[in-house]
Amino acid sequence: MKAGLSAFAVTVALVVGCGSGRPPPAGDSQYTPPVTVGGGGVGFADAGSTKPPGCGQKDDGSYCDCIDVPLFAEAPNMYFVLDRSGSMTEDNKWGKVRQVVAQIVRGLGPRANFGATLFPGFDDSAACTPAVEALPITPGDPPGAADGPTTKKLLTATQSAPSGGTPTAEALRGVLPKLRAAKGKTFVILATDGGPNCNAGASCTSATCQPNIDGVQGCSLGGPSCCDPPNGYRESCLDSAATLSAVAALKAAGIPVYIVGLPGTSAPQYANLLDELAVAGGTAQPASPKYYRVDTANETVLLTALKKISAKIVATCEVKLTETPAQANQVNVYLDELVLPKDPVNGWKIEGPTVTLLGDACTKVLSGDILDVRIITGCPTVEPR
């Protein structure tokens, strides 16, 4: 739910003497995405051809072999804390959230590690079941069109239908110890479609009682609190203080928290609280909404919000290679698997071991329009046409 800016790992494919199997420039309809080949490499093959065990076939019949390696040992950890309460069934919000998160995991690949906790847990017999970790922090998958083990594990672990309440504070408190102990820099992304609740020790007036806020069961903001026993439940009070405290504790531990407000959080009581959470998490946007607000149950809108957050965490326009390439005229840059010509205005430049994205290319990466950045050496540099 909050944002933090830092530059981390980009993927490099080391290629030896690539021939005609090299991908064409962006916009070429004949491009075939990279495919995993034997030995852990990634190969590029011409459209319709038999994919060789490498990047391509040279005129002499030999092949060039692609091996993707991360530039930095410690990729950032992107840890999702996802609301799977009963209201997430509306407009299939849960199905869309899990698919979009999988798209982020798939797109960033080895540039980040990923983890996820779901709240409430899977015991449908109780509304406020403790959260459950669906994916421990795990390295992202290698680049490629197909889902790797991390993406598959995330999708499998999030298949169950949503149900129950919204024990947000408990979920955030629960992830703190494991995230504090995690190696590298960690960022939490909280996605929720309503106000936090499930605190049996809470008390509230009608102004902060969720049935009153939502106007359900004959409740209204001007009437008595529908959270008061014996007819109401303390667990239905808006659990603001405990949730703010949990977010602040994560931030104090050096773990920024990004807030994503899904449809269902538009009531002022909820929106104001999400703004406060974004501030407490250290990721507030300059103006309200200070959190990342998603007003419609639309995958494209949600993906745009998560791309912006991802860019805050992993995007950089300056890529430092592990060593200076032996031949600077055999380096290429790929954005979302399409080659970016070496243009001095909107392309890229190389100085020693540093590749710098320029102009529009840099803007697209920093805005989150581009998730996957790869540097490939060994084939002739593609110049502007």
Whether 227 maps to a domain, the answer reads no
**Strand 257-261, strand 186-192: pairing:** parallel
Contact 212, 219 (CB under 8 A): yes
Residues 22, 380: Cα–Cα separation, whole Å: 9
Q: In which band, very low, low, confident or very high, does the pLDDT at 321 lie, cut at 50, 70 and 90?
A: confident
Q: In which band, very low, low, confident or very high, does the pLDDT at 336 lie, cut at 50, 70 and 90?
A: confident
Higher-confidence residue: 91 or 39? 91
For residue 86, pLDDT over 50 is answered with: yes
For residue 177, pLDDT over 60 is answered with: yes
Domain boundary among 271, 298, 314: 314
- The DSSP string of 326-354 is S-GGGEEEEETTEEE---TTTSEEEETTE
Q: Are residues 45 and 82 in the same domain?
A: no
Residues of the domain holding 370: 11-72+316-377
- What is the percent of the chain where pLDDT is above 70? 80
Q: What is the mean pLDDT of the chain?
A: 82
Q: Are residues 325 and 272 in the same domain?
A: no
Q: In which band, very low, low, confident or very high, does the pLDDT at 110 lie, cut at 50, 70 and 90?
A: confident
Whether 230 maps to a domain, the answer reads no
Whether 216 maps to a domain, the answer reads no
Q: In which band, very low, low, confident or very high, does the pLDDT at 323 lie, cut at 50, 70 and 90?
A: confident
Q: Are residues 246 and 338 in the same domain?
A: no
Q: Are residues 283 and 333 in the same domain?
A: no
Q: In which band, very low, low, confident or very high, does the pLDDT at 361 lie, cut at 50, 70 and 90?
A: very high
Q: What pLDDT, on the 0 to 100 scale, is given for residue 23?
A: 40
Closest to 69 measured CA to CA, from 111, 107, 29, 38: 111
Q: In which band, very low, low, confident or very high, does the pLDDT at 144 lie, cut at 50, 70 and 90?
A: low
Q: In which band, very low, low, confident or very high, does the pLDDT at 145 lie, cut at 50, 70 and 90?
A: low
Region of residue 336 (phi > 0: left; psi between -120 and 50: alpha; otherwise: beta): left
Cβ neighbours for 180, distance < 8 A, ≥ 6 positions apart: 253, 255
Q: What pLDDT, on the 0 to 100 scale, is given for residue 377?
A: 74
Residues 258, 5: Cα–Cα separation, whole Å: 12
Q: Are residues 26 and 155 in the same domain?
A: no
Q: Are residues 33 and 172 in the same domain?
A: no
Whether 269 maps to a domain, the answer reads yes
Q: What pLDDT, on the 0 to 100 scale, is given for residue 381?
A: 81
Whether 3 maps to a domain, the answer reads no
Q: What pLDDT, on the 0 to 100 scale, is given for residue 337?
A: 77
Contact 239, 199 (CB under 8 A): yes
For residue 59, pLDDT over 90 is answered with: no
Q: What pLDDT, on the 0 to 100 scale, is given for residue 70?
A: 41
The mean pLDDT of 75-87, rounded to a whole number, is: 96
Q: What pLDDT, on the 0 to 100 scale, is given for residue 56?
A: 44
Listed range (53-62, 249-258, 280-289, 296-305) with the worst mean pLDDT: 53-62
Name residue 307's amino acid.
K
For residue 107, pLDDT over 50 is answered with: yes
Q: In which band, very low, low, confident or very high, does the pLDDT at 61 lie, cut at 50, 70 and 90?
A: low
Q: What pLDDT, on the 0 to 100 scale, is given for residue 376?
A: 78
Q: What pLDDT, on the 0 to 100 scale, is given for residue 25?
A: 39
- 225-234, 240-249, 371-380 — which one is most confidently predicted on average? 240-249
The mean pLDDT of 44-54, rounded to a whole number, is: 28
Listed range (83-87, 205-209, 289-293, 322-326) with the worst mean pLDDT: 322-326
3-state SS class at 21: coil
Q: Are residues 62 and 178 in the same domain?
A: no
Domain boundary among 314, 337, 357: 314
For residue 100, pLDDT over 70 is answered with: yes
Listed range (37-51, 66-80, 266-280) with the worst mean pLDDT: 37-51
The torsion angle over the Cα atoms of residues 275, 279, 281 and 283, rounded to 10 degrees, is 90
Closest to 187 measured CA to CA, from 290, 287, 299, 81: 81
How many folded domains does the chain comprise? 2
Domain boundary among 267, 298, 314: 314
Q: What is the pTM of this model?
A: 0.81
Whether 2 maps to a domain, the answer reads no
